[in-house]
Amino acid sequence: MTLAAGHVDEIRELVRSSTGLLPRGGGSKPALSAPPHDGVVTVDVSGLRGIVAYDPAELTLTARAGTPVAELDAALAEHGQHLPFDPPLARAGATLGGVVAAATSGPGALRSGGVRDFVIGVRIVDGTGRLVSGGGRVVKNAAGFDLPKLMVGSRGRLGVIVEVSLKVFPRPRAAATLEIAAGGLDAAVAAATELSAGPWELDALELHPDGRLLARLAGDPEPMEARLARLVPALPAGATARRLAAGEADARWREAADLAWRPGGTRLVRAACTPAAIAPLWAAVAAAGGDARFGRGGAVAWIAWPDDAPLDPLDAALREHGLAACALTGAPAPDLLGAVRGGAFAQRVRAALDPDRRFLD
Amino acid sequence: MEEERVGAPEGRDRVLADLRALGLGERLLTAPAELAVFSSDALTAFRQRPLAVVLADTAEEVVATVRACHRHGVPFVARGSGTSLSGGSLPLEGGVLIALNRLNRILRIDPRARLAVVQPGVVNLEVSRAAARYGLQYAPDPSSESVCTIGGNVAFNSGGAHCLRHGMTANHVLGMRVVLPDGEVVDLGGESLEPVGPDWTGLFCGSEGLFGIALEVTVRLVPVPEAVHTALAVYDSLEAAGDAVSRIVASGLLPVALEIMDALAIEAAEASVKPGYPPGAAALLIVELEGGRETVAADAARLAALLRDSGAAHVRTTEDPGERALIWKGRKAAFSAVGWLAPDYLVQDGVVPRTRLGEALAEIERLAGAAGLRVANVFHAGDGNLHPLILFDGREPGALERAEALAGDILRLCIRLGGSITGEHGVGVEKRAHLPEMFGPDDMELMGRLRDAVDPARLANRGKMLPVGDGWS
Ligand SMILES: Cc1cc2nc3c(=O)[nH]c(=O)nc-3n(C[C@H](O)[C@H](O)[C@H](O)COP(=O)(O)OP(=O)(O)OC[C@H]3O[C@@H](n4cnc5c(N)ncnc54)[C@H](O)[C@@H]3O)c2cc1C
């Protein structure tokens, strides 16, 4: 059963009267939003749409959870602003609520921080059917428990996000992209580590398992050539760099944010990652015949895992490195993979938000 | 404070017996003279003597102490360096104070992964000092950085002047090991900047000690910037300095810090640490840019033009670390410096939308005038975080009450303008009555439910953050 909510009160009513609830935004991450079994009640929030408040001088924006992030981007662009973390799957219809619930950040998170760093306030319908607010609309706020951060990655299991407040940034006026061939994955990881520790302030840095890196500089046009002129000779020995023309660069970054490189017949998995875990994770993915990209300088692994391969080897590799992952597309996969943290704290917080177990496990 | 007192006296005897059995020796304090030292934090208007103080040396001792408290229903308070300005580390009468500043080891620095694993009693600045040899630093920089601890920073989600660009403590904590109020130990987060699943770490940050005690904290490190440019601009009115901030924000520049000091704060700074600020200024604006040298040079040129057009009477800029340190010395010492102007002060920490700063400052001036009190202003202008310092003389009958009343009016003003009662100092005991003015009944109800789910016996930092009475504490 699906309820297409046009108003928060409908959601509150539904939460009070049903169990097995699963919120759904734009449906761009079906592994999280499609019913995993019978008897699930889908709460479709895509009708809760629109910007509630946007004051460009304030650099903050509040919008309803079902607002497509592409719509936000267009509104921000009119004022020369943006969400610097390039919310992934925007062109597949990702909504603001879904981006928060799935904790998906794109390439630009490298320089400016990810979705957890930009969410300043939320309104949710909790498991008792109450509409509750956390955080606020100002960029700095230490009052009360940090409900906004808790909702990041909550996957619809702790409540229905109905409104989100964000801080936003000025949109850089210029960008330049380099494709760097490091010569193998290990060399690429080493190069990424070196580049991240240097004075380059890369805006984005994505690693391809074949040893190529896609690096973006962003900022004002004036110093851009000088920044590039210093960066290129400083690249690790053996690496070669090619500057991409604007059109090609845009296409490549769009491919990264849309995760469009993902081959057919695979499901998309987002995994927490660290530089040291890249090689072993890739070994597990390659052995299963999958593909992957390592985003945000290696802090996140986007894995295309073959539909017909069991997830166990990936689960085992993640556990070994103390990392967790979450499938985003393919068959409904409500459970997290790998090393899941939180223990008793997680259970108790969950019991507070959803005492009668209205939401799916 | 009736609600904060502890129930059964037998519980106290039993907890003391259990603590003695831990073999802490001289690190278990119970003599009144020893306890007196710990009876307040930096909000000295509040004082309470604890039942005992445990000077923990190991995480195991912290866990054992928490378990003993839980066994006997005795509340406990964690304490780092006691620099809380909101009464967060104020002990509870009849409760146990767990002092963590001996847990001060940096356990590991991983320069490749750019992270450090530290014990909770490590002093903030020590992390940057230790990371410096790798060209890295820990970004959050409260003005108390040379004293305050990472554990205290985590509990309050502390900020600092450079948080405008870098973010607060929660933006820099990747994971931690914590002991819950019933003694259970859990791991939250990990080593990745991209956690999967609900952000338990983010929820623990800023929970003001109500969810338990952080035993080990994994923080991210960032490269020390290659170039830093600091500008000090002088204005003949506070309003003009505020307008300059709006211009800078609107221009698309992203400084790492945007700080304002008013005449009284400047006077205090000059009287104490003598930073050599230009004389006769009604307001000072400090703007700092950092990054790669090409970017900083280009941004500095844009900034110079903006400051010129903003009507600054005088602008001084520097790239020299020594001169920069002097500029910041006056700013970072501002709180203690007002001690030169008055025997006592209360510092407020409200936030307003940054476009309403001018309005807020004018109203604070009016409220202070009406209350017959002087207020010095030094604040994080870039993110709308005010720090009005209300000056008073505690020996004067009724002065503290008038100062507190003015503080309450200022907080209500911040709420009315769409802001917050605290940007970084936390609610503590000081502002707990104001939390329900900012949040609605259902929001408060959920906060209470969260605390009760994590700590059904309400032992951890009882009486802080959530209002007392009505079954809260
Ligand atoms: C002169 C001065 C300037 C200041 N400037 C700033 C500033 O710029 N920005 C800012 O944000 N703050 C500032 N502060 C406030 C204060 O320094 C911060 O709140 C700091 O984080 C407190 O650290 P602490 O170690 O002193 O903690 P304490 O005061 O000892 O404790 C603070 C709170 O943390 C809890 N706590 C301590 N350790 C732990 C732990 N391991 N686990 C769980 N809870 C714990 C305590 O119970 C208490 O509630 C300033 C204070 C002073 C006196």
Q: Is A295 helix (H, G, I), strand (E, B) or coil?
A: strand
Indicate whether residue B465 lines ligand 1 (CB < 6 A).
Answer: no
Of B422, B443, B449, the CB nearest to A142: B422
The answer on pLDDT for B294 being more than 70 is yes
Q: What does the alpha-carbon distance between residue B66 and residue B179 come to, in Å, rounded to a whole number?
A: 8
Q: What does the alpha-carbon distance between residue B51 and residue B74 come to, in Å, rounded to a whole number?
A: 10
Q: Is A58 helix (H, G, I), strand (E, B) or coil?
A: helix
Q: What does the alpha-carbon distance between residue B401 and residue B387 come to, in Å, rounded to a whole number?
A: 19
What pLDDT does A28 receive? 96
Q: Say whether A55 and B352 touch across the interface (CB within 8 A).
A: no
Contact by Cβ (8 Å): B228, B289: yes
So what's the ipTM on this one?
A: 0.97
Q: Say whether A142 and B156 touch across the interface (CB within 8 A).
A: yes
How wide is the angle at C-alpha B345 spanned by C-alphas B339 and B349, nearest 5°? 120
Please choose from B85, B203, B431 the residue to mutate so as to test ligand 1's pocket, defined by most ligand atoms within 8 A of CB: B85
Domains in chain B, CATH or no CATH each: 2-101 (3.30.43.10), 106-223 (3.30.465.10), 227-335 (3.30.70.2190), 342-426 (3.30.70.2740)
Q: What does the alpha-carbon distance between residue A268 and residue A291 come to, in Å, rounded to a whole number?
A: 10
In A216-229, which positions are buried (b, 16+ CB within 10 angstroms) versus exposed (e)?
bbbbbebbbeebbe
What pLDDT does B3 receive? 43
Mean pLDDT, chain A cut into blocks of 10 residues (361 residues total): 90 96 96 94 96 96 98 98 97 97 97 97 98 96 97 97 97 97 96 94 97 97 96 93 97 96 97 97 98 98 97 96 96 89 97 97 83
Output the 3-class SS for A156-216: CCCCEEEEEEEECEECCCEEEEEEEECCCHHHHHHHHHHHHHCCCCCCEEEECCCCEEEEE
Quote the percentage of chain B above a pLDDT of 70: 97
Of A80, A136, A170, the CB nearest to B420: A136
Contact by Cβ (8 Å): B124, B149: yes
Q: Does domain A262-338 have CATH number 3.30.70?
A: yes
Residues 6+ positions from B429 with CB-CB distance below 8 Å: B43, B46, B86, B87, B88, B90, B463, B464
- Residues linked to residue A270 through DSSP beta bridges, in sequence order: A302, A326
What pLDDT does B280 receive? 86
pTM over 0.90: yes
The answer on pLDDT for B279 being more than 80 is yes
Mean of all residue pLDDT scores within chain B = 94
Q: Is B385 helix (H, G, I), strand (E, B) or coil?
A: strand
* Domains A48-170 and A174-257 equal at CATH topology level: no
With beta carbons under 8 A apart, name residues in chain B contacting A234: none
Residues 6+ positions from B432 with CB-CB distance below 8 Å: B463, B464, B465, B466, B467, B468
Q: What does the alpha-carbon distance between residue B136 and residue B152 come to, in Å, rounded to a whole number?
A: 22
The answer on pLDDT for B321 being more than 80 is yes
Runs of H (alpha helix) within B259-320: 263-272, 293-309
**B180 CA distance to ligand 1 middle (Å):** 20
Q: Is B344 helix (H, G, I), strand (E, B) or coil?
A: strand
DSSP B335: H
Residues 6+ positions from B143 with CB-CB distance below 8 Å: B160, B161, B331, B332, B333, B334, B335
Contact by Cβ (8 Å): B149, B121: yes
Contact by Cβ (8 Å): A271, A300: yes
What pLDDT does B8 receive? 66
Mean pLDDT of the region B370-378 = 95
**Dihedrals φ, ψ of B229, to 5°?**
-125, 125
**Architecture category of domain A174-257 in CATH:** 2-Layer Sandwich (3.30)
Q: Say whether A345 and B191 touch across the interface (CB within 8 A).
A: no
Q: Say whether A55 and B355 touch across the interface (CB within 8 A).
A: yes
Give just the sign of the alpha carbon dihedral A238, A188, A293, B138: negative
Of A200, A272, A353, the CB nearest to B195: A272
- Residue B259, H or E segment: strand B257-262
Radius of gyration of chain B (CA): 22
How wide is the angle at C-alpha B278 spanned by C-alphas B276 and B280, nearest 5°? 125
Quote the percentage of chain A above a pLDDT of 90: 96
The answer on pLDDT for B2 being more than 50 is no
Q: Where along chain A do its domains lie?
A: 48-170, 174-257, 262-338
Q: What does the alpha-carbon distance between residue A115 and residue A113 come to, in Å, rounded to a whole number?
A: 7
Indicate whether residue B91 lines ligand 1 (CB < 6 A).
Answer: no
CA A251 remoteness from chain centre: 19
Q: Give the up-direction half-sphere exposure of residue B321: CA atoms within 13 A in the CB hemisphere.
A: 4
> In which residue are the tokens 């020369």 written?
A80
Q: Residue A87 is which amino acid?
A: P
Taking only the tens place, the pLDDT of each residue in B78-114 is: 999 999 999 999 999 999 999 999 999 999 999 999 9
What pLDDT does B5 receive? 47
Q: Which atom of ligand 1 is the closest one to the Cα of B123?
A: 25
**Dihedrals φ, ψ of B217, to 5°?**
-130, 130
Mean pLDDT of the region B204-221 = 98
Q: What does the alpha-carbon distance between residue B409 and residue B427 come to, in Å, rounded to a whole number?
A: 16
Mean pLDDT of the region B65-69 = 98
- Ramachandran area for residue B39 (φ above 0: left; ψ -120 to 50: alpha; else beta): alpha
Structure tokens at A318: 């993640």
Please choose from B76, B83, B379 the residue to mutate so as to test ligand 1's pocket, defined by most ligand atoms within 8 A of CB: B83
Q: Say whether A345 and B186 touch across the interface (CB within 8 A).
A: yes
How wide is the angle at C-alpha B11 spanned by C-alphas B7 and B17, nearest 5°? 155
Mutate to test the interface with B, among A139, A189, A206, A278 (most CBs of B within 10 A): A139
- Residues linked to residue A326 through DSSP beta bridges, in sequence order: A270
**Dihedrals φ, ψ of B7, to 5°?**
-65, -105
**B144 CA distance to ligand 1 middle (Å):** 8
Q: Does domain A48-170 have CATH number 3.30.465.10?
A: yes
Least confident of A186-190, B67-71, B280-284: B280-284
Q: What does the alpha-carbon distance between residue B466 and residue B450 come to, in Å, rounded to a whole number?
A: 11
Residue A349, class by beta-carbon neighbours within 10 Å (0-12 exposed, 13-18 middle, 19+ buried)? Answer: buried
Residues 6+ positions from A299 with CB-CB distance below 8 Å: A109, A110, A272, A273, A274, B192, B193, B194
Residue A85, class by beta-carbon neighbours within 10 Å (0-12 exposed, 13-18 middle, 19+ buried)? Answer: buried
Task: Report in angstroms the alpha-carbon separations of A275 from A197, A206, A270.
Answer: 13, 12, 15
Interface membership of A59 toward B (CB under 8 Å): yes
What is the residue with the minimal CA distance to atom 27 of ligand 1?
B152
Query: What is the side-by-side strand order in the sheet with B388-392?
Result: B314-318, B227-235, B283-291, B257-262, B374-380, B388-392, B344-347
Comparison of pLDDT for B473 and B151, the residue scoring more: B151
Q: Say whether A140 and B380 touch across the interface (CB within 8 A).
A: yes
Q: What does the alpha-carbon distance between residue B376 and residue B388 come to, in Å, rounded to a whole number?
A: 6
What pLDDT does B340 receive? 85
Structure tokens at B9: 């006296």
Instruction: Provide the chain B residues 420-459 that lie in CB contact (below 8 A) with chain A.
Output: 420-427, 431, 435, 438-440, 442-443, 445-447, 449-450, 452-454
Q: Say whether B196 and A147 touch across the interface (CB within 8 A).
A: no
> In which residue are the tokens 């604006």 written?
B285
Of B205, B351, B354, the CB nearest to A141: B351
What pLDDT does A112 receive? 93
With beta carbons under 8 A apart, name residues in chain B contacting A170: 252-254
What pLDDT does B470 receive? 52
Runs of H (alpha helix) within chain A: 8-17, 30-33, 69-77, 96-102, 109-112, 115-118, 147-151, 185-197, 224-231, 246-258, 275-287, 312-320, 343-353
Q: What does the alpha-carbon distance between residue B69 and residue A39 come to, in Å, rounded to a whole number?
A: 45
What pLDDT does A4 receive? 87
What pLDDT does B174 receive? 98
Taking only the tens place, the pLDDT of each residue in B3-57 is: 444 556 788 899 999 999 999 999 999 999 999 999 989 988 889 999 999 999 9
Taking only the tens place, the pLDDT of each residue in B410-449 is: 999 999 999 999 999 999 999 999 999 999 999 999 999 9
Radius of gyration of chain A (CA): 21
**B149 CA distance to ligand 1 middle (Å):** 7
Q: Say whether A142 and B353 touch across the interface (CB within 8 A).
A: no
Of A155, A271, A344, the CB nearest to B180: A344
- Residue B426, H or E segment: none
Taking only the tens place, the pLDDT of each residue in A52-102 is: 999 999 999 999 999 999 999 999 999 999 999 999 999 999 999 999 999
Mean pLDDT of the region B240-257 = 93
